[in-house]
Amino acid sequence: MTDYKTQIENNICYTDLVYERINKKLKTQLSKTQIESLVQEILRETETSQFLKKGKNVYISNTVKNIRLAVNSYTNRLITADLIS
């Protein structure tokens, strides 16, 4: 079984577009540094059981912050973040 938590935590990367997408989806105005800190915090706090691979993506659901991250499992690139309703 692949340890997606460690793999993503150590290798996550971002594109310029993803910062805009996250602010839009989460209805925030965070800086790049704040977004990266939030993502790292979510990755650290989320249990390994909440890392679910579907197709090429890994979905990380953090119910405390009500945020779900989508990360490409091959490139470890953050794709988006959604509010969990």
- The residue assigned the tokens 């971002």 is 14
In this prediction, residue 40 carries a pLDDT of 97
Buried b (16+ CB within 10 A) or exposed e, 46-79: beeeebeeeeebbbbbbeebebbbebbbeebbbb
Q: How many domains does the chain have?
A: 1
In this prediction, residue 80 carries a pLDDT of 98
18 lies in which domain range? 4-83
Query: What would the pLDDT profile of 34-72 be if each residue is shown by its tens digit?
Result: 999 999 999 999 999 999 999 999 999 999 999 999 999
